[in-house]
Each structure stands twice: as C-alpha cells, then as structure tokens.
Amino acid sequence: MKIINSEDQLIDLSKSSGGQFAISDLESAYKFCEKIASSHYENFPVGSIFIPKKNRKYFYSVYAFSRIADDIADELVDTKGVDRIKILDDYILNIIEIEKFSKHSGNPIFVALFDTIKAKNLPKEPFLNLIHAFKMDAEFAHAKNMDDLVDYCNYSANPVGELVLRIFDMYDEKTAPLSDAICTGLQLINFWQDFSVDLRNQRCFIPKDFLEKFNLEKESLVLQEKNINFKSCISVIFEYTKQIYNKGNSLPRLLKPFRLRMEIAVTYYAGLAMLEKCELMGSELLSKRPKLEKIDYLKILYKALFY
C-alpha cells in the first residue's frame, strides 16, 4: 500500500521542511525512503537482495527521490492553485541547495539524498535531468517520432542507470553506453507495458509518424477499436525497442561485483520477459496491462545465474 495518499502529502515532500513528514535524524530519513520503495509495485528490482545491505539504503534514497517527483508530475492536478511545474521547480531547488540538508533535519528524502551524494560522490546532474523529464511529463507532448522518445529517455531513464553504476564506482566510458541502452530500452518497454493505462489518461506514446504510417488514430485506440494495423505497428515498434535494448546486453559481464552483476542481469531479463508478454498480447494491450508472474521471475533468476 502506498504511504503517500494525497496531494497535500506530495506537496509537503516537495518542500525543504518536509511538512508533516519532517524528520530530525539520518536513520529516520533512510527508513522513510525504504518505505516508499517497498510500497510501490515495480516489475524491475529496486534495491533488491542482490544489492549488498551497505549500499541498499542509497538505492532507496535515489528511488524515493524519483518516485515522488514522478508522482508530482503524474498525480497532481493543476487546479485550486496547484502548479506542478512550480512544485517541481521547488524540488529542483532542493537538489541545487542539497548541502542545506547536512544537519539531517527536514525533508527525509533530501536528508537521505544528501548523505547518499556525499558518501558516493554523486554529481547533481543526473538528478536535475530526472526532474527535467518529470517536467516534460507534466507538460506532456505527443512525440513526433522515435527520436523524440529516445531523447526523453536520455533524461528519464539513463540517469538512473548512471546513478546505480556510480554507487558501485562502476560508471566509465565502457559501461556508460551499455547502461544507456538498457535504460532507454526499459523506458520504452514501460511505455508499451502501460499502453492501456496511458491511453485512459489521454496519453499515447506511439509517435505521430508511426500512427500516420499505419493509418491509426489516437481516438480509435482510446476507444479500444480493433485494427489489424495496430498489431503491425507495435510489431515494428517492439523490434525497434529490442535493437536498442540488446545493445546493452554485455553490461553485466563488465561488472565486477557479483551482486551488482546479478541485479543488472535480473533487470535485463525482466525487461525482455515483459517485452515478450507485450508481443504476445498484441491488441489486448489496448485494454490490459501485462504483469510478470512468479514463474516468470523464476525463469529470469535462472537465466541471470548463467548469464
């Protein structure tokens, strides 16, 4: 169950004070971030058991930062004086002025994040890029082509992979492009996985040029009207996604820490499994959201062990 259940709570977590969630010690800050991470369903691992316990808390702080910003962009409604862009700007300011959380009091997310940034020598740029992506979400614009979607992934997904590798001191010129390929692929897979959900929210992530090429209309997709062209369209899109995603398949082999290698391998195979489910569902994606089951995770774990 989510622990953040109202707009007022999200707004409080954008403030440096933390509002009703204010804390006065570092341990409480990390525990709060862990609760956020454990209260959201994710198809892909978030600080799983493969991550050494000494590093797990850093994953929680990064995830909590991203999760709340994402919720601000997606769940707040711009009415009654609520301005999502202004709230996200406040969120950005907390990153820019992260040093003010050195006293370990106030907003638990940024207290934990300050300690994470300091302990792991993380740059601020990946966090700022993530907020830029969330602002793009808040001001959603239908992508003209796949290049637009990939550009969005450069802000929304690739910084996450960078931060994960930096936490393990494994981010370099060899691992960076492979990480970007996997993260961009995962973001695209997430679009196709959430297709029915996004359509209900009047968001279509199939680029305009693809809709035109396959003679599809967003309005018809929202109404779940069956169209043989839809299956042809997503078949091409899935192949495009695979080509990007598989460019990163050698990343785990470059990672020395066994647990990190397993974490990335599991994540990689989970993405492939989800993409396969999307392919099998075809037109059902208009009305249903695929989900990985326990048997899927067992297969994923087996593959990861012999990566």
**219-273 pLDDT tens trace:** 888 877 777 899 999 999 999 999 999 999 999 999 988 888 998 999 999 999 9
**How many angstroms separate the CA atoms of 149 and 191, rounded?**
10
DSSP code, position 145: S
Is the domain of 99 the same as that of 202?
no
Residue 237 · residue 177 · CB < 8 Å: no
**140-188 pLDDT tens trace:** 999 999 999 999 999 999 999 999 999 999 999 999 999 999 999 999 9
**How many angstroms separate the CA atoms of 239 and 245, rounded?**
10
**Residue 132 located in a structural domain:** no
Is the domain of 99 the same as that of 21?
yes
Please indicate whether residue 82 or residue 301 has the higher confidence score (pLDDT): 301
**How many angstroms separate the CA atoms of 48 and 265, rounded?**
12
Is the domain of 111 the same as that of 213?
no
Is the domain of 169 the same as that of 300?
yes
Domains in the chain: how many in total? 2
Contacts of 138 (CB under 8 A, 6+ apart): 72, 73, 84, 85, 88
Of the residues 91, 123, 155, which one is the last residue of a structural domain? 123
Q: Inform me whether the pLDDT recorded for 289 exceeds 60.
A: yes
**Residue 129 located in a structural domain:** no
CATH number of domain containing 282: 1.10.600.10
Is the domain of 160 the same as that of 207?
yes
Question: What would the two tokens of residue 47 be?
Answer: 């600080």
**How many angstroms separate the CA atoms of 47 and 232, rounded?**
37
> Which pLDDT value is given to residue 49?
60
Of the residues 75, 91, 123, which one is the last residue of a structural domain? 123
- AA identity, residue 130: L
Residue 112 · residue 67 · CB < 8 Å: no
Percent of the chain with pLDDT over 70: 94
Beta bridge partners of 106: 23
**Residue 304 located in a structural domain:** yes
Is the domain of 225 the same as that of 170?
yes
User: Scanning the structure block, which residue is given the tokens 């693809």?
Assistant: 210
pTM given for the model: 0.89
**41-77 pLDDT tens trace:** 454 444 456 677 888 899 999 999 999 999 998 888 7
- AA identity, residue 57: K
**Residue 135 located in a structural domain:** no
**How many angstroms separate the CA atoms of 47 and 222, rounded?**
35
**How many angstroms separate the CA atoms of 183 and 161, rounded?**
6
DSSP 178-217: HHHHHHHHHHHHHHHHTHHHHHHTT---S-HHHHHHTT--
- Provide the mean pLDDT of the chain: 91
**Residue 133 located in a structural domain:** no
Cβ neighbour number for residue 215 with a 10 Å cutoff: 10
Is the domain of 157 the same as that of 306?
yes
- Per-residue confidence band for 79, with pLDDT thresholds at 50, 70 and 90: low
**Residue 178 located in a structural domain:** yes
**Residue 131 located in a structural domain:** no
**How many angstroms separate the CA atoms of 175 and 180, rounded?**
9
**How many angstroms separate the CA atoms of 19 and 99, rounded?**
19
Domain of residue 82, residue span: 1-123
**Residue 63 located in a structural domain:** yes
**How many angstroms separate the CA atoms of 267 and 269, rounded?**
6
**How many angstroms separate the CA atoms of 288 and 303, rounded?**
27
**111-133 pLDDT tens trace:** 999 999 999 999 999 999 999 99
Of the residues 123, 149, 173, which one is the last residue of a structural domain? 123
Is the domain of 35 the same as that of 180?
no
Is the domain of 241 the same as that of 305?
yes
Is the domain of 84 the same as that of 171?
no
Is the domain of 176 the same as that of 300?
yes
How many helices (H) and strands (E) are present in the chain, helices listed first?
15, 0
Instruction: Quote the radius of gyration of the chain (alpha carbons, Å).
Output: 19
What integer is the mean pLDDT of 78-83? 68
